Amino acid sequence: MGKQRYPLYFSFPALAVFLLFFITPTLIGFYYSFTDWNINAPDIRFVGFANYVELFQEPRLTTALSNTLIFAAAVTVLQNVCGLALALVLNEALKLRNLLRMVFFLPYVIAPIVIGYIFRAIYHPEHGIVNELLRAVGLGSLAQDWLNDPAYALFSIIATDIWRVAGFAMVVYLAGLQFIPKDLTESASIDGATYWNRFRHIVFPLLAPAFTVNVLLSMIGSMKVFEMVMVLTEGGPGYTTEVFFTYIRSMFSSGEFGYATAVNVVLFVLVTLVGVPVLMGMKRREVEM
């Protein structure tokens, strides 16, 4: 029996919604990024590429770009490493594996703002759990002001976000593991293949679709980080943990709407330039089962 075909006009409502709520605001945003729209201007004037010239000469943007890329790279790699490790362990026949799956996934369903406030207390220099534990085991010399020291602030935020999102990656990898035929791994085991060889030559290649989903979502999500940075450090100390969205928020708060929109367009282009090649590259390594 052939596939049933529906008239093209059935898609018109979805296309209309997409056009109204995505394409139109995007085009309007592109237009305003070429204007001097700000809170003090009596009218809005077209200024061409003036906003883009100004923002690429702004040192804060360089800092925001650097921090965003560092944050995205670290979170993407470590989220997937931790998520895959958890998935491999909790895919085994453990008595408490369902409970442990829930425990590790739970942080992902908590709002980032809530997690941010929790970790502000955990990282407190005097009474935080991290420093208290270090002092309790005789490593008090390692205690730091984790959120106010420029050397540690960004990495503290990265660690917090990995704790939050690793459970999501674990669930995606667990779903991928369920679709790998057990006959393949059992046959390889009978033939004498070690666990590492079974993982390297069977499990890892067949998990490619799960890798594609996890890497793409974690990369795009981490490049758009805002709540975690805003709650933990507000982009400080100074501008040492500034990211794109905290910079955009700062510009909008000061009434520089056209300039802030231009920064947002730059972020959109950056996510596209990074995301599309990554997606295409990872899709090529997927194999059919």
**pLDDT per residue over 168-205, tens digit each?**
999 999 999 988 888 888 888 887 888 888 888 888 88
Other Cβ atoms closer than 10 A to 264:
20
Is the CB of residue 128 less than 8 Å from the CB of residue 121? Answer: yes
Nearest-angstrom CA–CA distance, 229 and 243? 8
The two structure tokens encoding residue 168:
């999501």
Residue 46's SS3 state is strand
Other Cβ atoms closer than 10 A to 27:
11
**pLDDT value for 283:** 78
Please state the φ and ψ torsions of residue 147, each to the nearest 5 degrees: -100, -15
Q: Which residues contact 137 (CB under 8 A, 6 or more apart)?
A: none
**pLDDT value for 110:** 93
Task: Residue 41: name the closest of 264, 265, 258 by CA.
Answer: 258
Q: What is the CA radius of gyration of the chain?
A: 23
Is the CB of residue 216 less than 8 Å from the CB of residue 282? Answer: yes
**pLDDT value for 288:** 53
DSSP state of 48: T
Q: Cα torsion for 30, 32, 35, 40, to the nearest 10°?
A: -160
Nearest-angstrom CA–CA distance, 113 and 123? 15
Amino acid at 1: M
Task: Residue 173: name the closest of 137, 212, 200 by CA.
Answer: 212
Residue 35's SS3 state is strand
In whole angstroms, how far apart are CA 151 and each of 185, 218, 236?
A: 45, 24, 11
Residue numbers of the chain with a pLDDT score lower than 50: 1, 289
Residue 164's SS3 state is helix
CATH T-level topology, domain 31-39+47-284: MetI-like fold (1.10.3720)
Other Cβ atoms closer than 10 A to 50:
16
Specify burial of residue 196 (Cβ count, 10 A radius: 0-12, 13-18, 19+).
Answer: exposed
Nearest-angstrom CA–CA distance, 18 and 20? 6
Beta-bridged to residue 46, according to DSSP, are: 35
**pLDDT value for 26:** 85
Q: Which residues contact 12 (CB under 8 A, 6 or more apart)?
A: none
Q: Which residues contact 76 (CB under 8 A, 6 or more apart)?
A: 215, 218, 219, 222
Nearest-angstrom CA–CA distance, 102 and 104? 6
